[in-house]
Amino acid sequence: AFFDEHMDRFFNSCKAISLDVGLDKDGIAEALRRTAEANDMHSDVHCRLMLTRGIKDKPFQHPSLSTTGPTLVIIMEHSKPVDRLQSAGIRLASVPQVRGLPHSQDP
């Protein structure tokens, strides 16, 4: 659900931290499709994407320490929507991006 909206946020967030995804929207959609197919998942599937900068030389966050390209992790699980939350007036929302926090890599 809301694939385009999710992907817009995903790509905007990656751009904000100069993280090259290595795929476009269609490439991610294909990776999701192949993952679902490989696991025989056809309905009520919740997908989680994680993108890291890849393997690091040292256990620090600075991008220059990455020794490989980005690593895309796809986690899928069967999960039905929880309708009772919506009827109780609870909605899911995205948290806005916040930059410049202590210990961030912002200049």
What is the predicted pLDDT for the residue at 91? 63
Lowest-pLDDT range of 13-22, 50-59, 86-95: 86-95
Mean pLDDT of the chain: 81
**Considering only CA atoms, which of 48, 67, 68, 49 is closest in space to residue 57?**
67
- Taking the C-alpha atoms of residue 22 and residue 37, their distance in angstroms, rounded to an integer, is 22
Q: pTM score > 0.85 for this model?
A: no
Residues 6 or more apart in contact with residue 12 via CB below 8 angstroms: 97
79-99 pLDDT, tens per residue?
A: 876 666 666 666 655 555 555
What is the predicted pLDDT for the residue at 37? 94
Residue where the block lists tokens 């999701």? 32
What is the predicted pLDDT for the residue at 26? 96
